[in-house]
Amino acid sequence: MDAGGQPDRITRLDFQKLLHTLNLHLLPRAVSDGMFQAMDTDGDGSISFNEFARVVSSSSPRDVLSM
C-alpha cells in the first residue's frame, strides 16, 4: 500500500519491501526494476490491482511480457 493514501496501488518502494519480505531482496536491482516495469503497464510508477492481477493470473512469464 502506498503511504500516500492509495491502498489499491503498489509503489516501487512497496515492491522493494515486498521483495525483502519474500527474501528476494538480493536480486540485482536491474532485475527487480524490470519486474516492476513489467507489471506497471501504464507507466504511472505504481502497480494497480488490475496490473497485479494480470501478472499473478498469467499462465507463464512469456504471457506477461507479451501483454
What CATH number corresponds to the domain at position 28? 1.10.238
Domain contains 3: no
Domain contains 1: no
Q: What's the structural domain count of the chain?
A: 1
| pTM across the whole model | 0.74
- What pLDDT, on a 0 to 100 scale, did the predictor assign at position 60? 72
DSSP letter string over 1-67?
-BTTTBTTEEEHHHHHHHHHHTT-TTS-HHHHHHHHHHH-TT-SSEEEHHHHHHHHT-SSHHHHHH-
For 24, the domain range is: 9-66
- What pLDDT, on a 0 to 100 scale, did the predictor assign at position 67? 55
Domain contains 19: yes
Q: What is the tens place of the pLDDT at every residue in 19-29? A: 999 999 899 99
65 vs 56, which has greater pLDDT? 56
